[in-house]
Structure 1
Amino acid sequence: MKKLLFILAFVPTLLFAQTKEELIATVKANPKDVQTLQTLQRIGVYDPDYKELQGLFKKLDKKVRKSNSGKLFERYLDALKNTQVGKKAPSITQLDLSGEPYALSDLKGKYVLVDFWASWCPPCREENPRLVKTYAEFKDKNFEILGVSFDKEFANWDKAIKDDKLTWKHVSDLQGWNNSAGQTYGVKAIPQNILIDPNGIIIAKNLHGDALNAKLREVLK
């Protein structure tokens, strides 16, 4: 998807564009520097490859891997491992707009797109009209969307949903980038999404627009 993405601002050097190959080369050249973990975090930040990151992480110096930053990165790797295609989707339970708890499991038996977004994220808002069209086409074909917001302010979240006419179910814990579901799914950039089948198995990640519609037509025959 060729568009700007909102990425967790944890790396000042993120401002300096580098190719994936350059980032990998930097990681391999600095295995004893704890700052290398920040570079490693930037590799495939939108759609990271768990096995690739794990392999690079294992080649870092033991002191780097055992540092506090290293332990945090291991948690991130665990989240990626547990949310790969073919895995059972981890549970999500947060409050909906009425303040009531709502769970991903409440949609069991349907194809569900878990959409990670926020009202303050321009690329997310640009994506919303396409999602509205997708939902209109497939909502009566055993398909639902669960919006998980990285907002902190309820009013902004609520207004964006109404302004963008997002008529599917929405939840949030209003913790911004610390959203518990986002951490469980290893989300470091938005918009991102996960497509789950009626048995709760992840069958695709980060499909948008025509690619998402094509996948839904394939599975919703």
Structure 2
Amino acid sequence: MKHLKFLFFISVLFTSHFIKAQGDPSIEKEIIELHKPTKAINDSLSKLKKEYNLKIEAEKDSVKLSQLMLRLDTIWNASDQNEISELKLDFEFARQHPNSIEALQLIRRSVNRFIGMNFYDTFVEVFQNFTPEVKNSEQGKDMTEKLKFFNQSKVGSTAPKFSLKDINGKTVSLQDFRGKYVLIDFWASWCGPCREELPYVKELYKKYHQQGFEIINIAKDDKPDLWKKAIEKEKIEHWNHVFTSDSGSGVIKDYYVFGIPHKVLIDKNGMIIGKWKGSGEINKHDLQQLMKSIFEAE
């Protein structure tokens, strides 16, 4: 229903040359002023989220509950759009402050979040505008690495290969699915939004499996016993299941996964054609429409 928010730890290690800039009161004040309009909107939306969550918890009528959940989803979508507006402000601020570590940190905090997912080219353009000193700082090097994994996992890129053991000890290799459409669904047994989405994913599988559609579920930060029980309870044993805590940490990094649910759709030729971070009706609708355009047009 609601989008998962991704929280990230930002390092503060950098050369002494930039310590003064980092603590520059004028820069800090500029950023506070820059974010005042979007912060006001975010505060209002956060209040609405809390109100609707309380209403949802108390509502017993299924029809009214569905209406409340749709309304909450709309509020979350408005929140996402507000954060995207703030990100655009951050991009412009960074362009105007190419020698500022703080300006780099403004954009670096969003590079692996839902709101930054469709702005790879802008991240690259803005980052390249920074001075060599900023780009060669610890934060700059970290940004370079982030952009590398962002690039290889975005729509239009060749899907990173992996070969991992599944729940039955059988090797699951992405290469073996060439010629089919594959939905990689990063999830966990403890992830409520992940499991809330399973009914519609089941429908997609039921509708398109015979036409060459497969699902690979990759569990992230889960416990083996709870993971297996969830698979059984949700009746999804016939899908491919991989447990990343054993040997699959590389696939999490390769696909640039920082939060779940996180879905990636790969075409017959191994190209990424769709990517969705978080949950919600918009993501659900986009995936359904893309699947329809693929299988009902062929």
Instruction: In structure 1, list runs of 5 or more residues that go unmatched.
Output: none
1:143-189 deviation line (CA, Å, top 9, x unaligned) = 0011122124212222222222223101132179x932121122223
Residue 202 of structure 2 aligns to a residue whose secondary structure is helix
1:92-122 deviation line (CA, Å, top 9, x unaligned) = 2222112333111121211111112222222
With normalisation by structure 1, the TM-score equals: 0.82
Distance 2:126 2:246 in 1: 30
Larger radius of gyration: 2
Instruction: Identify the structure with the greater helix proportion.
Output: 2
Q: How does 1:36-47 map to 2 (within 5 A)?
A: 36-37=104-105, 39-42=107-110, 45-46=113-114, 47=117
1:3 aligns with 2:74: no
Mapped contact 1:93–1:102 kept (Cα < 8 A):
yes
Aligned letter for 1:54? V
Q: How does 1:22-33 map to 2 (within 5 A)?
A: 22-26=86-90, 28=93, 31=98, 32-33=100-101
Give the superposition deviation at 1:48: 4.0
Partner of 1:20 in structure 2? 84
Q: Would the alpha carbon gap of residues 107 and 65 (structure 1) be closer, same or farther in structure 2, given more than 3 Å must change?
A: same
Instruction: Identify the structure with the greater strand proportion.
Output: 1
Moved more, 188-197 or 140-149: 188-197
Q: CA RMSD in A?
A: 2.9
- Give the fraction of aligned pairs with identical amino acids, expressed as a percent: 31
1:168 aligns with 2:243: no
Q: How many residue pairs were aligned? A: 216
Distance 2:84 2:156 in 1: 26
Distance 2:155 2:207 in 1: 24
Mapped contact 2:187–2:218 kept (Cα < 8 A):
yes
Give the superposition deviation at 1:44: 6.9
Moved more, 161-170 or 107-116: 161-170
Partner of 2:271 in structure 1? 201
Give the superposition deviation at 1:63: 3.0
Q: How does 1:70-81 map to 2 (within 5 A)?
A: 70-81=140-151
Q: Would the alpha carbon gap of residues 156 and 62 (structure 1) be closer, same or farther in structure 2, given more than 3 Å must change?
A: farther
Moved more, 199-208 or 123-132: 199-208
Partner of 2:292 in structure 1? 217
Q: Would the alpha carbon gap of residues 33 and 91 (structure 1) be closer, same or farther in structure 2, given more than 3 Å must change?
A: same
Give the superposition deviation at 1:81: 1.5
Moved more, 46-55 or 205-214: 205-214
Indicate the structure whose relative CO is greater, using CA pairs within 8 Å and at least 6 residues apart.
1
With normalisation by structure 2, the TM-score equals: 0.63
- Alignment equivalent of 2:167, drawn from 82, 89, 97: 97
Q: Would the alpha carbon gap of residues 180 and 214 (structure 1) be closer, same or farther in structure 2, given more than 3 Å must change?
A: same
Aligned letter for 2:110? R
Partner of 2:46 in structure 1? none
Distance 2:106 2:233 in 1: 36
Residue 244 of structure 2 aligns to a residue whose secondary structure is coil
Moved more, 47-56 or 132-141: 47-56
Mapped contact 1:108–1:198 kept (Cα < 8 A):
yes
